[in-house]
Structure 1
């Protein structure tokens, strides 16, 4: 009997198990949309659907996963109710549907947004949910019991909230970039008390509040031993000292409605301003940011909403108008670009050897990283994707406008 293939399969299985990570926040454990050790089919279609579950209400928040449970938020389309849902990852069964808030007079939300667009954060024993100025809350992830809530942090989101929180060093950090005021808050993750709150110090170049709003999610990095939380906003991104909220440096890049999460790779920080402009720059240290640290900027084939993927020095992106592209991360040089769909809002993910893009009309495009621009698979599933997916083990957890899917290799 030839034991080598059997042992190889066992080793591969053990390797996958040992390297399985939860997907605890927007864009995964490292905030970059990559699940390096997952093994998934190139073609994602109905034949790869392990289960699908209808999700009530409307929400663009991404699913987050810890162990056997998937968590996501939803809301009534008119914003009168806001809830969090837990789904069994094995079966797709909804095991918790917790009503968190009822609103008699919800403020306006743009139809392309939702009242539940902020992605939760989950740990082994907690789930943190955020609905902008309406509610921030912490629940016991085992019992569903609410541990604390905050409804007193106010701003006028004008077109609805969408910034997701991050958990860093015992603090839940989230941006409130409204039309009336703009600031970043760190809540104590255990108690919900405010650790610090820092107003934005940005020259927006206007007094019109619509140009001051944003939907960005922060990203924590360390530069020369100094922890920093990079928080994008309208017109600029600011780095904060996590323990105090003290601004460390900032970079102006113009624009409004910034929603892409920053990525830090090979000494460069990649920022998208919400209006189709991108900059790559060396992060600053304590003090003002210098413009000569900008390595490159680009306005061609740049997303307005989605965050990119960076792999082996190449940056992959889907733009809002249906174009996917690859460019050299160090220089910004476009290697290729190709129109493949109608529109994109969700951020792509890389799982194992493939990168997947998810369109607002239900398109799923698969490419293999490298210089080849031709997709290796192009399918359509469901009623369109606004939420970015999660990847755990060898499964993609994908939220459409009305359903939650688990996709995997079923053969």
Structure 2
């Protein structure tokens, strides 16, 4: 991504691609990839120079990471920010790297103690930080929320709850900043709240009750229909909230539980939702109030493909949904009609995909990334492979930066061009 691109030019570029006409962005202008899945929170990149083909020889640099984690790279200015967990979760750290060289710039130990239980696919450093060019915010669930300056100086910390569930899968929801509010999804059975914190002090501004159930999706900001709203998927429903007060605007009941995937967004502010467990894909208008299940669900289409942990992706008039085994389905965004269904690779995929230059990037756990171009038929542009070592697992989302692409495994950060 062009590090000098203005907020205005970014919006124009997105509109020109037909991706978010009339839908505002959530990015702080100081950041180039400020949060999980970028400026929109939905995996849409304005940068058209993202590489489409690479191999081991395309690696500009790679940096071994301390500990393990699945948080995705965040880019603010010339710095990259990540989290990691050491000693099987007994220590949680925030890390900063130089974008040009991959050199580690600083490390802050946020928390040390006895770790909570977590699923083997999750761990203790899955939530992605938010960075606005001046500060970095990190969340580790029961280990707390932490704020640092971009240079690594501690500013504040806050413990919000235990976030226990009977299945003890841990937490994975990433952070969002809307104006002066830091938004934290605490979906769990012990502390089922959506939190709005003062980003400068960590003080709780509002706290909205959610269903007492496990949930792992990340909130994102949608600006459509003349207002801002936080969109959050969940175990029971997908909903829109007022960023200033936390008040629910609307909710639409889901077809399956968990709610890991982040919804995709169409040009008119319609969202496209899958729920993690096997269930339907469905479209919801976001201009309603109260329970909109019967009034604003514009279509839903049956899916029988198993788990749908990767988030859906919108490119033009196409909605792309991959299951965890690499079977990719393409739907018409206006009608929900399934246009095609193809296996794009063998192996497991859990990472949320990326859209750039009219193409979709699907990165598999084995380090393979399949780049596709949607249409009436599937077109595979490239199948790219890194050479992971030491049993590396790739569950983080890709992050474009200044014409390059950042790829994070649980153990290594790669930069390719």
So what's the TM-score if we normalise by structure 1?
0.88
Question: Paired residue for 1:328, among 321, 328, 332?
Answer: 332
What corresponds to 1:159 in structure 2?
169
How much does 1:324 deviate? 2.1
What corresponds to 1:4 in structure 2?
none
- Residue by residue, what CA displacement relative to the aligned partner does 1:5-29 show, whole Å, maximum 9, x if unpaired? xxxxxxxx99986668600001101
**C-alpha separation between the residues in 2 aligned to 1:330 and 1:77?**
48
Residue 271 of structure 1 pairs with residue 280 of structure 2: no
Q: Which moved more, 1:150-159 or 1:52-61?
A: 150-159
Contact 2:351 2:397 in 1 (8 A): yes
Question: What pairs with 1:235-274 in structure 2 (closer than 5 Å)?
Answer: 235-267=236-268, 268-274=270-276
**C-alpha separation between the residues in 1 aligned to 2:79 and 2:335?**
41
What corresponds to 1:3 in structure 2?
none
Question: What pairs with 1:6-405 in structure 2 (closer than 5 Å)?
Answer: 22-76=32-86, 78-103=88-113, 105-142=114-151, 144-157=152-165, 158-200=168-210, 202=211, 212-267=213-268, 268-277=270-279, 278-298=281-301, 299-301=303-305, 304-339=308-343, 340-381=345-386, 382=388, 383-405=392-414
Which of these two proteins has the greater Rg computed from alpha carbons?
1
**C-alpha separation between the residues in 2 aligned to 1:283 and 1:351?**
25
- Residue by residue, what CA displacement relative to the aligned partner does 1:230-267 show, whole Å, maximum 9, x if unpaired? 22221112221111111221111143222111222133
**C-alpha separation between the residues in 2 aligned to 1:260 and 1:14?**
28
Contact 1:81 1:99 in 2 (8 A): yes
SS in 1 for 2:295: helix
Q: 1:81 to 1:337 in 2, by over 3 A?
A: same
Where does the alignment leave 5 or more consecutive residues of structure 2 unmatched? 11-30
Contact 1:325 1:334 in 2 (8 A): yes
- Residue by residue, what CA displacement relative to the aligned partner does 1:371-405 show, whole Å, maximum 9, x if unpaired? 34142221322233100011122111110121101
Contact 1:235 1:273 in 2 (8 A): no
- Residue by residue, what CA displacement relative to the aligned partner does 1:75-94 show, whole Å, maximum 9, x if unpaired? 02521000011111100111
Q: 1:362 to 1:384 in 2, by over 3 A?
A: farther
Q: Which moved more, 1:34-43 or 1:172-181?
A: 34-43
How much does 1:180 deviate? 2.7
How much does 1:285 deviate? 3.0
Contact 2:35 2:74 in 1 (8 A): yes
Contact 1:16 1:393 in 2 (8 A): no
Contact 1:166 1:173 in 2 (8 A): yes
Q: 1:349 to 1:77 in 2, by over 3 A?
A: farther
**C-alpha separation between the residues in 2 aligned to 1:252 and 1:17?**
39
Total equivalences in the alignment: 385
**C-alpha separation between the residues in 2 aligned to 1:178 and 1:14?**
39
How much does 1:269 deviate? 1.3
How much does 1:59 deviate? 0.6
Question: Paired residue for 2:415, among 388, 394, 406?
Answer: 406
Contact 1:26 1:119 in 2 (8 A): yes
Q: Which moved more, 1:145-154 or 1:117-126?
A: 145-154
Q: Which moved more, 1:384-393 or 1:346-355?
A: 346-355
So what's the TM-score if we normalise by structure 2?
0.87
**C-alpha separation between the residues in 2 aligned to 1:47 and 1:313?**
35
What RMSD, in angstroms, separates the aligned Cα atoms of the two structures? 2.1
- Residue by residue, what CA displacement relative to the aligned partner does 1:56-100 show, whole Å, maximum 9, x if unpaired? 211111010011100000002521000011111100111112111
SS in 2 for 1:133: helix
Where does the alignment leave 5 or more consecutive residues of structure 1 unmatched? 1-12, 203-208
Contact 1:108 1:160 in 2 (8 A): yes
**C-alpha separation between the residues in 1 aligned to 2:293 and 2:340?**
31
Q: 1:306 to 1:52 in 2, by over 3 A?
A: same
